[in-house]
């Protein structure tokens, strides 16, 4: 409708100029309006329907969603006023991702916010037309979501959560100077985790550590995989992996009695039992994605919007794990770290989480 109104206005202007002997100017204006209509996306009609597809109840993903909604509100787009938001959580099941993606396409959402690599990949398979803004995607190019980070070229762009893996391995070395072998654990079905695991392996070996890699495919595999490295490693490294992050209580159940320190990819995993991390701010990533969504609403072309990154990092250490493992934190690390003491998890909640 907006495009039709543009051409209608051009026609009126052309007729008006013709009556006054200025047909040549009218022709120029018509051409200018037509070029503008063809070259720039129209601003979306309000209210805008936004679908949010999230892989799982993972603290980093939740934080990204909260940042996304907050940034939209700050830009003047508020739920129930001039935008409608439908949030769907796949609860870490790929079949649910398929169902949600199909629903969003059938409902003809104006924009979709896809949180995590699997969510973005599933959404991308369903539509080449709806603008998709992603977050919590480690490598958008290797994940097949964009042509290049600078010029995505399709209907997807967003923000990457590429974590400082090398700095995380350096942290492991500083906290655990006697460690010689590191087991790297991740979900075999997550491209983002595989990329980080490969980076961690290279960084660890460059730092003089030997490594082995173990993978799980479902939450039922977690305990067996963790148990398999007990006695065979001095430390465990887990990247920002959605499956392991959602099941840190199961990891902790085995690593704590075995006195195995676990370096992890992000802060939520530290809060749920990991020893430490150098992490990025996922709420900030969500805010960057929300700002991109506001630009798309206002007519920006998503195919030319570069993928965003953040350089803001913070060091988080779990004080409980430090005490349990008898680790001495070097002064230069302790002086800059955020030392956290997680609240005790309710026994019934923990049991329910692992059923």
332 and 209: one domain?
Answer: yes
77 and 48 Cβ atoms separated by less than 8 Å: yes
The pLDDT of residue 255: 97
The string of pLDDT tens digits covering residues 302-353 is: 999 999 999 889 999 999 999 999 999 999 999 999 999 887 655 444 444 3
Q: Domain residues for 63?
A: 48-162+282-304
Give the pLDDT of residue 300. 97
**For residues 135 and 67, what is the distance between their CA atoms, to the nearest angstrom?**
11
Distance from the first to the final alpha carbon of the chain? 51
Which pLDDT score, from 0 to 100, does residue 6 have? Answer: 34
Count the neighbouring beta carbons within 10 Å of the beta carbon of residue 304. 11
- Please report whether residue 42 resides in a domain: no
* pLDDT above 90: percentage of residues in the chain: 79
For residue 48, pLDDT beyond 70? yes
- Whether residues 106 and 152 fall in one domain: yes
Other C-beta atoms closer than 10 Å to the C-beta of 283 total 18
- What is the pTM assigned to this prediction? 0.80
Domain shared by 253 and 327, yes or no: yes
What pLDDT is recorded for position 344? 64
pLDDT at 3: 34
Q: What is the mean pLDDT of residues 217-246?
A: 95
Confidence grade of residue 239 (pLDDT, cut at 50, 70, 90): very high
Structural domain includes residue 64: yes
Domain count, the chain: 3
Token pair 């989480």 is at which residue? 353
User: With bands split at pLDDT 50, 70 and 90, how would you rate the model's confidence at 57?
Assistant: confident
Residue 268 included in any domain: yes
- For residues 297 and 153, membership in a common domain is answered with yes
Q: Beta strands 48-54 and 210-216: pairing type?
A: unpaired
- pLDDT tens digits, residue range 174-228? 999 999 999 999 999 888 899 999 999 999 999 999 999 999 999 999 999 999 9
Q: Which two tokens stand for residue 351?
A: 């049991």
Q: What is the pLDDT of residues 292-301, one digit of tens each?
A: 999 999 999 9
d(CA 144, CA 124): 9
CA distances from 166 to 122, 136, 192, 263, 313 (A): 29, 18, 16, 12, 13
pLDDT score recorded for residue 345:
56
Mean residue pLDDT of the chain comes to 87
Residue at 43 is within a domain: no
At residue 278, the pLDDT reads 97
Q: Looking at the structure, do residues 217 and 347 belong to the same domain, yes or no?
A: yes
User: Is residue 170 domain-shared with residue 246, that is, in the same domain?
Assistant: yes
């Amino acid at each position: 409708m907006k495009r039709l109104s543009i051409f209608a206005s051009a026609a009126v202007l052309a007729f008006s100029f013709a009556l006054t002997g200025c047909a040549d100017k009218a022709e120029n204006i018509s051409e200018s309006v037509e070029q503008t209509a063809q070259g720039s996306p129209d601003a979306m009609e309000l209210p805008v329907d936004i679908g949010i597809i999230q892989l799982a109840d993972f603290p980093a993903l939740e934080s990204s969603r909260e940042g996304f909604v907050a940034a939209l509100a700050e830009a003047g787009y508020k739920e129930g006023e001039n935008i409608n938001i439908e949030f769907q959580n796949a609860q870490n099941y790929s079949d649910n991702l398929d169902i949600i993606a199909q629903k969003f396409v059938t409902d003809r959402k104006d924009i979709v916010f896809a949180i995590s690599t699997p969510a973005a990949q599933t959404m991308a398979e369903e539509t080449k037309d709806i603008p998709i803004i992603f977050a919590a995607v480690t490598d958008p190019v290797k994940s097949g979501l964009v042509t290049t980070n600078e010029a995505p070229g399709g209907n997807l762009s967003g923000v990457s959560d590429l974590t400082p893996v090398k700095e995380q391995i350096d942290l492991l070395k500083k906290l655990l100077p006697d460690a010689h072998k590191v087991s790297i654990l991740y979900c075999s079905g997550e491209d983002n985790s595989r990329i980080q695991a490969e980076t961690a392996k290279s960084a660890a070996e460059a730092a003089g550590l030997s490594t082995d890699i173990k993978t799980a495919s479902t939450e039922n595999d977690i305990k067996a995989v963790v148990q398999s490295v007990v006695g065979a490693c001095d430390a465990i490294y887990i990247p920002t992996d959605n499956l392991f992050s959602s099941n840190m209580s199961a990891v902790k159940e085995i690593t704590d009695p075995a006195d195995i320190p676990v370096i992890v990819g992000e802060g939520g995993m530290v809060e749920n039992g990991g020893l430490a991390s150098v992490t990025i701010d996922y709420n900030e990533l969500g805010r960057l994605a929300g700002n991109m969504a506001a630009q798309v609403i206002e007519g920006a072309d998503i195919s030319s919007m570069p993928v965003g990154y953040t350089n803001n990092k913070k060091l988080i250490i779990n004080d409980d794990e430090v005490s349990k493992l008898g680790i001495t934190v070097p002064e230069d690390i302790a002086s800059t770290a955020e030392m956290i003491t997680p609240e005790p998890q309710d026994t019934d909640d923990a049991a329910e989480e692992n059923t």
